[in-house]
Amino acid sequence: MSVYIVGAGPGDPELITVKGQNLLRQADVIIYAGSLVNPALLEVAKTGSAIYNSATMTLDEVIAVIEQADKEGKLVVRLHTGDPAIYGAIQEQLDCLKTKNIAVTIVPGVSSFLATAAALKQEYTLPGVSQTVIITRLEGRTPVPDKEKLAALAAHEATMCIFLSVHLLENVVAELIAGGYAPDTPVAIVQKASWPEQKILRGRLTTIAQIVAAEKIDRTAMIVVGKVLDSDYDLSCLYSPNFAHMYRDVKK
């Protein structure tokens, strides 16, 4: 039997994949990241399943639970918020399970930066404005390599989705401006995208820190920065009558 690392999606229990939800229904053991995963997702778990909140556990404890369950032939789901590949701290779990010869399958999920775009009703990649999305974070207890410091990334003036940093918003703003974004660059903050209590705040680099402080938002929020949020753009070639592609000729 395999251990499944499953992306829970951003919060809304309907934003987990069908595959992920099927696994949750069948799981004998579920270990979920309680600090961010919406507990409503666990309502589909079968009666008698053992449910652990990893927020109170160490890596060794998580691995011990997985190892024991795997030995007993049980189906284990390790549920991570959003997509496990983004700030999911899964690599150390994967490496540890590999040394123990425990097979792992990963089921991707909807990352919160995409639920944020949906909440904002916003495309991140507007032609003529930005064709690049940078996923990053401000340095916290986890160090960020020098070449990836916010100020260095800001030089691209691309669309940026900044995780794990809303509690340090003033530092984020200072680095972005120092790095090259114009001070009036639009910013949107989405807290708990796709949850019932979702909140959207909009401003400019110069105003957003004050707006966010007034709303007392200091966690579980995405910072989106870039001209796409407020900008004219070129129409997409994809739907243009003058643009032929694999499925369509130029329209006369």
Residues that bind ligand SAH (CB under 6 A): 10-11, 36, 81-83, 86-88, 111-112, 115-116, 163-164, 190, 192-195, 220-222
Residue 8 contacts residue 28 (beta carbons within 8 Å): no
Dist. CA 13–CA 37, nearest whole Å: 9
| Residue nearest to ligand SAH according to CB distances in the complex | 82
Dist. CA 215–CA 199, nearest whole Å: 10
Dist. CA 66–CA 3, nearest whole Å: 8
For β-strands 29-32 and 76-80, DSSP reports them as: parallel
DSSP summary character for residue 108 = -
Q: 163 forms bridges with which residues in the sheet?
A: 137
Shortest approach of ligand SAH to residue 127 CB, angstroms?
26
Dist. CA 189–CA 173, nearest whole Å: 13
Ramachandran assignment for 104, one of left (phi > 0), alpha (psi -120 to 50 degrees), beta (any other): beta
- C-beta closer to ligand SAH: residue 159 or 194: 194
- C-beta closer to ligand SAH: residue 69 or 110: 110
Shortest approach of ligand SAH to residue 195 CB, angstroms?
6
Shortest approach of ligand SAH to residue 89 CB, angstroms?
9
- C-beta closer to ligand SAH: residue 174 or 200: 200
DSSP summary character for residue 9 = B
- C-beta closer to ligand SAH: residue 125 or 136: 136
Shortest approach of ligand SAH to residue 71 CB, angstroms?
28
- C-beta closer to ligand SAH: residue 69 or 107: 107
- C-beta closer to ligand SAH: residue 43 or 197: 197
Shortest approach of ligand SAH to residue 121 CB, angstroms?
15
Shortest approach of ligand SAH to residue 198 CB, angstroms?
7
For β-strands 104-107 and 50-53, DSSP reports them as: unpaired
